[in-house]
Chain A
Amino acid sequence: MKRRTGKADLQQAPVTFAKGVDERFQASTPLRALLNKVFPDHWSFLLGEIALFSFIILLLTGVFLTLFFDPSMSETAYEGAYPALRGTEMSQAYASSLHLSFEVRGGLFMRQMHHWAALLFMASIVVHMLRIFFTGAYRKPREANWVIGMALFLLGFLAGFTGYSLPDDGLSGTGLRIASAIMLSIPVVGTWISASIFGGEFPGHLIIGRFYIAHVLLIPGGLLALISVHLGLVFKQKHTQWPGPMRTNTNVVGERMFPRYALKQGGFFMAVFGTVALLAGLFQINPIWLFGPYRASEVSSASQPDWYVMFMDGLVRLMPNWQIYIGDYSLPPLFWPAVVGLGFFTTAPMAWPWLEARKTGDKRIHNLLERPRDNPERVGIGSMAVTFFIWATISGGNDVIADKFHISLNAMTWAGRIGLIVLPALAYFIAVRVCLGLQQHDREVLAHGVETGIIRRLPNGQFVEVHQPLGPVDEHGHPVPIEYGGWVVPKKMNRVGALAPAVKGFFFPVEKPSEAPVSPGMPPVSGDTREEITSGRK
């Protein structure tokens, strides 16, 4: 065998390898495009990342949990480490969940991490969605990603529900019971659907096994596929950006993906992971051993689902008892909030981008975001939806509120019913007014300048406040009105560099000019002062 010699070969090895890869996959050009891809930066663009990172944590912890969980409903007498339940008849699923919590090293920690990550996943999806909505990021060409996002919420909802049904404790059994009732309420086929899913009458012996495979394979598979498409589309269509200096509808202003942007993402992932770890360690969640095994005859008050299901529970609580009879058949009121309501609120918003485009007749491509205040009607409608959702969610815990604040439960229910109709309308009105007010103030500052706080007394005795114009002035010293650019208008003197900057640094004040007013995080650059770019290394 020929012996290779010399250092040169070793140094040459990565090059040889890279060349080999390129010969086979023609990777050079796409790889360079990836390394160079420019991403715009703004804190609100990181909300979706939280969802992505939570999903990764969910996969990691979830796989661990499956190694110990036994999705079986066969009855067994508990003989584990938790004394209060010893000798109790329970399902294998519940017993193995207790085993995981008490007799597996770090098992409880992993379980709580999984649950907290799930809550964070759903929360970040919702907040991310609000960001998308209120800034108009869903407009053409990104309608498909809006639809996929809604589908992701629905899938996450199902993943959460199947997940907390698995331990088969008292609380999850109650949730399953309600799910079965919801299926039963569907007209004509309700009993067939329930019987088919539960494999006979509730609860049967199959549901945990079926939910298990849905929870660990089918739904995560769907989530993974949709998330991949979601990210792929963001990548292909390039991220939206806020308006600002140099930013146009046909460019992306930001920084290249590597190294800085990617590194920041990595650090952010660690921070999200750390948050979940802290939550999981310090805040107990779903203490299944306190609920006991599921018994059809037992329930405690204050049985609330996870937060993202509470809006539906709230709607179910608020629904008046209107039953519809059609001949010998009946349509229970549960059908409206639980089946129609959930279906409507998770699918109807999918049509929003097209509805809006149709109404405004706007078929252009939008890569620049809109500040919420610049589209009062959208903000109004969004505020309606948010108010409705929050109010329904609060009503999902109305028994707890009634108990803690000594309010009559019936009064809470009526307040919920009335509020659900009145408050969204009120929210619309207030939101629109607030937007218009903010718009007006922006225009005012652009026209007259920033209030300086300096009061001048004129010779005739009149007092006026001195305004600092933001742009040039005419021959009388009055500011020439400036066009609104769709981005933050500086409204304080220190925002235009008049005052000393706020002290930065905790121990060591750093003397530094204040942030550029027009675009936080980016120093202002005017087109005519560009200099030769160097590598940045001195």
Chain B
Amino acid sequence: MTTLHHDAPDAPEPVDVDDPRLSRFDVVKEGLRRDEIEIITYESQFQGNNSKAEKRVVRNIALLFILAGVAAFAFLGFYIFWPWRFELGHTLSDYYTPLLGISLGIALFAVGFAILAWAKKLLPHEVSIQARHDGASPTDEQKITGQTMLFVGDELNQGVQRRPLLKGAIGFGLAPIGLVAAAPLIGGLIENPHKAEHPDLFTTGFSPAKNGGNLVRLTRDDGTPIRPEDVSTGGQMTVFPGIPHGATNEYADSPTLLIHLRADDAEETRNNADADRRNAGSMWGNYVAYSKICTHAGCPASLYEQQTNRLLCPCHQSQFLITRNAQPIFGPATRRLPMLPLGVDEEGYFVATSDYKDTVGPDFWERP
């Protein structure tokens, strides 16, 4: 045993645990002494045996345990017999999950409180003091361990110092081994975003390259093409590239908002667009199409306010002014929404006369 540090003058003396006169608690106290614990109080919380208060506590705890059992049976009953399959309308199955929750909750709470009450009320109240031993190890121990570590270091180090060949060889040998461990774990994950001839970062489904060189039609999400008269004045529609899987997440950057502006707004929009090098000539009649993918974090900027001609992104509240090349006018976005050059093919359906001229979607370092 380590030496005991007892400040208390009345520190108990060690006892012989084989002494038959000792009660079990005396033996426990010897254990406490060895663990440097001093019990200050350890007493029943009730006056006398079988007091009224004690009986009441016992009754309450028993009640809680019984309640737990009842609730647990209720849970099992609900779980097994209550109709649980989802049905339309107001049915009993609507209450399946709440009933499970209530019955399990009550059961667990009852068990919990029963145990807590048992521990807090029935078990003797106790205050014990245990000594702490903080701080560093004895200095000689510190020194021995330190010297041992240095010795190990010396052994390895001297070996290398005396044998220069080893030094180089170890350096040369270990570094690649480390890389070998890392390479297969990480290497397979690395994707070059620029490896394709037309990296997806810069192209969308509206690129003619995705459609065998033909212009890509604007379609609804079911793939049907759109005529100008399909969009009412002041109305808007989400359109997708008319290519296979064009409306799926495979072309997550392609969703586009096609807006039919009122005449005066269209006039203003056209003037602003034509004054811009890249947006010039991209409108068709009073129709304009902007990328729906917010240039901030990529959410669809889908809330169109007709009165003010603003587009609002619901994720971080960037606002874009449609009549002014969809420039951001509020919120964290810095870049305007790219405009899709619109045209109408010989059958009278909307097409994109080229891909977006600006990069679609959230901003990044090497965006041109």
State whether the Cβ of B267 lies closer than 8 Å to any Cβ in chain A: no
Q: A268-B116, A537-B44 are in contact. Are A253 and B104 (CB under 8 A)?
A: no
Neighbouring A residues of B193 by C-beta, 8 Å: 191-192, 194-195, 201
In the complex, per-residue mask of B79-96: 1 if CB is within 8 Å of any chain A CB, else 0:
100001110100000001
Give residues of chain A (265-317) contacting chain B, Cβ–Cβ below 8 Å. Answer: 266-275, 277-282, 294-303, 313, 316-317
Task: State A280–B103 Cα separation when bound (angstroms).
Answer: 12
State whether the Cβ of B159 lies closer than 8 Å to any Cβ in chain A: no
Binds A, one of B144-152, B280-288, B348-356, B358-366: B358-366
Do residues B362 and A181 form an inter-chain contact, with CB atoms below 8 A? yes
Contact for B127 among A187, A297, A330, A525, CB less than 8 A: A525
Binds A, one of B128-136, B168-176, B270-278: B128-136
State whether the Cβ of B231 lies closer than 8 Å to any Cβ in chain A: no
Neighbouring B residues of A32 by C-beta, 8 Å: 31, 34-35
- Of all chain A residues, the one with the shortest Cβ separation from B367 is A330
Task: State A322–B221 Cα separation when bound (angstroms).
Answer: 35
State whether the Cβ of B63 lies closer than 8 Å to any Cβ in chain A: no
Neighbouring A residues of B86 by C-beta, 8 Å: 81-82, 102-103
Do residues A109 and B101 form an inter-chain contact, with CB atoms below 8 A? yes
Do residues B100 and A281 form an inter-chain contact, with CB atoms below 8 A? yes
Contact for A297 among B23, B255, B363, CB less than 8 A: B255
Q: What are 21 inter-chain pairs, A to B, with CB distance below 8 A?
A: A36-B32, A81-B85, A103-B86, A141-B134, A181-B298, A184-B364, A185-B363, A190-B364, A191-B365, A201-B201, A237-B134, A260-B119, A296-B249, A296-B251, A297-B240, A316-B297, A317-B316, A332-B296, A334-B362, A367-B134, A399-B314
State whether the Cβ of A486 lies closer than 8 Å to any Cβ in chain B: no
Give 10 nearest A-B pairs by CB, closest first.
Answer: A281-B101, A270-B112, A274-B108, A267-B115, A536-B124, A297-B255, A278-B105, A181-B362, A267-B116, A271-B112
Do residues B298 and A177 form an inter-chain contact, with CB atoms below 8 A? yes
State whether the Cβ of A37 lies closer than 8 Å to any Cβ in chain B: yes
- Of all chain A residues, the one with the shortest Cβ separation from B127 is A522
In the complex, per-residue mask of A251-269: 1 if CB is within 8 Å of any chain B CB, else 0:
1111110011101101111
Interface residue ranges, B against A (CB under 8 Å): 10, 23-25, 29, 31-32, 34-35, 37, 39-44, 48-49, 53, 56, 79, 84-86, 88, 96-102, 104-109, 111-120, 123-132, 134-135, 189-194, 200-201, 221, 238, 240, 247-249, 251-255, 292-293, 296-300, 302-303, 312, 314-318, 328, 330-335, 361-368
- Of all chain A residues, the one with the shortest Cβ separation from B314 is A301
Do residues B314 and A302 form an inter-chain contact, with CB atoms below 8 A? yes
Task: State A295–B298 Cα separation when bound (angstroms).
Answer: 12
Neighbouring B residues of A537 by C-beta, 8 Å: 44, 124
Do residues B98 and A282 form an inter-chain contact, with CB atoms below 8 A? yes
Number of interface residues of A (CB under 8 A): 120
Interface residue ranges, A against B (CB under 8 Å): 32-33, 36-38, 75, 81-83, 89, 102-103, 105-106, 108-109, 112, 141, 173-174, 177-178, 180-182, 184-192, 194-197, 199-203, 237-238, 246, 249-256, 259-261, 263-264, 266-275, 277-282, 294-303, 313, 316-323, 328-334, 365, 367, 398-399, 409-410, 413, 508, 510, 522-523, 525, 530, 533-538
Neighbouring B residues of A332 by C-beta, 8 Å: 296, 334, 362-364
Count CB-based A-B contacts (< 8 Å).
327
Further contacts, 11 of them, CB under 8 A, given A250-B134, A267-B113, A330-B363: A106-B84, A181-B297, A185-B363, A246-B40, A268-B112, A270-B112, A281-B98, A300-B314, A301-B314, A303-B314, A330-B367
Q: A185-B362, A196-B190 are in contact. Are A281 and B104 (CB under 8 A)?
A: yes
Do residues A331 and B365 form an inter-chain contact, with CB atoms below 8 A? yes
Neighbouring B residues of A89 by C-beta, 8 Å: 248
Task: State A295–B253 Cα separation when bound (angstroms).
Answer: 11
Do residues B108 and A105 form an inter-chain contact, with CB atoms below 8 A? no
Contact for B130 among A141, A203, A251, A266, CB less than 8 A: A251
Do residues A181 and B192 form an inter-chain contact, with CB atoms below 8 A? no
Do residues A203 and B252 form an inter-chain contact, with CB atoms below 8 A? yes
Do residues B296 and A181 form an inter-chain contact, with CB atoms below 8 A? yes
- Of all chain A residues, the one with the shortest Cβ separation from B186 is A196
Do residues A253 and B127 form an inter-chain contact, with CB atoms below 8 A? yes
Neighbouring B residues of A538 by C-beta, 8 Å: 44, 48-49
Task: State A530–B129 Cα separation when bound (angstroms).
Answer: 13
Q: Separation in Å of the B311 CB from the closest CB of chain A?
A: 13
Neighbouring A residues of B113 by C-beta, 8 Å: 267, 271
Do residues A271 and B108 form an inter-chain contact, with CB atoms below 8 A? yes
Q: Separation in Å of the A205 CB from the closest CB of chain B?
A: 9
Neighbouring A residues of B10 by C-beta, 8 Å: 530
Do residues B119 and A273 form an inter-chain contact, with CB atoms below 8 A? no
Q: A203-B252, A264-B116 are in contact. Are A191 and B364 (CB under 8 A)?
A: yes
Neighbouring A residues of B104 by C-beta, 8 Å: 274, 277, 281
Contact for B128 among A38, A173, A365, CB less than 8 A: A38
Neighbouring B residues of A319 by C-beta, 8 Å: 332
Q: A36-B37, A267-B119, A274-B105 are in contact. Are A323 and B135 (CB under 8 A)?
A: no
Q: Separation in Å of the A341 CB from the closest CB of chain B?
A: 12
Contact for B131 among A250, A261, A533, A536, CB less than 8 A: A250
Neighbouring A residues of B96 by C-beta, 8 Å: 108-109
- Of all chain B residues, the one with the shortest Cβ separation from A264 is B119
Neighbouring B residues of A81 by C-beta, 8 Å: 85-86
Do residues A295 and B40 form an inter-chain contact, with CB atoms below 8 A? no
Contact for B332 among A105, A320, A522, CB less than 8 A: A320
Neighbouring A residues of B221 by C-beta, 8 Å: 295, 297
Task: State A536–B46 Cα separation when bound (angstroms).
Answer: 10
Task: State A534–B249 Cα separation when bound (angstroms).
Answer: 74
Task: State A173–B249 Cα separation when bound (angstroms).
Answer: 10
Q: Separation in Å of the B352 CB from the closest CB of chain A?
A: 16
Q: A252-B132, A321-B332 are in contact. Are A190 and B365 (CB under 8 A)?
A: yes
Neighbouring B residues of A330 by C-beta, 8 Å: 363-365, 367
Do residues B192 and A296 form an inter-chain contact, with CB atoms below 8 A? no
Q: Separation in Å of the A292 CB from the closest CB of chain B?
A: 12
Contact for A255 among B128, B201, B240, B293, CB less than 8 A: B128
Neighbouring A residues of B31 by C-beta, 8 Å: 32, 36
Q: Separation in Å of the A57 CB from the closest CB of chain B?
A: 11
Neighbouring A residues of B364 by C-beta, 8 Å: 184-185, 190-191, 330, 332
Q: Separation in Å of the B85 CB from the closest CB of chain A?
A: 7
Q: Separation in Å of the A188 CB from the closest CB of chain B?
A: 6
Do residues B85 and A299 form an inter-chain contact, with CB atoms below 8 A? no
Do residues A246 and B129 form an inter-chain contact, with CB atoms below 8 A? yes
Q: Separation in Å of the A45 CB from the closest CB of chain B?
A: 15
- Of all chain B residues, the one with the shortest Cβ separation from A304 is B315
- Of all chain B residues, the one with the shortest Cβ separation from A269 is B112
Task: State A469–B292 Cα separation when bound (angstroms).
Answer: 74
Neighbouring B residues of A510 by C-beta, 8 Å: 53
Task: State A278–B110 Cα separation when bound (angstroms).
Answer: 13
Contact for A201 among B119, B248, B252, CB less than 8 A: B252
- Of all chain B residues, the one with the shortest Cβ separation from A141 is B134
Do residues A277 and B132 form an inter-chain contact, with CB atoms below 8 A? no
Q: Separation in Å of the A91 CB from the closest CB of chain B?
A: 9
Task: State A190–B41 Cα separation when bound (angstroms).
Answer: 64
Do residues A298 and B297 form an inter-chain contact, with CB atoms below 8 A? no
Q: Separation in Å of the B10 CB from the closest CB of chain A?
A: 8
Task: State A260–B124 Cα separation when bound (angstroms).
Answer: 8
- Of all chain A residues, the one with the shortest Cβ separation from B106 is A274
Q: Separation in Å of the A419 CB from the closest CB of chain B?
A: 16
Do residues A180 and B249 form an inter-chain contact, with CB atoms below 8 A? no
In the complex, which of the residues A32, A173, A177, A178 has the most CB atoms of chain B within 10 Å of its own CB atom? A177
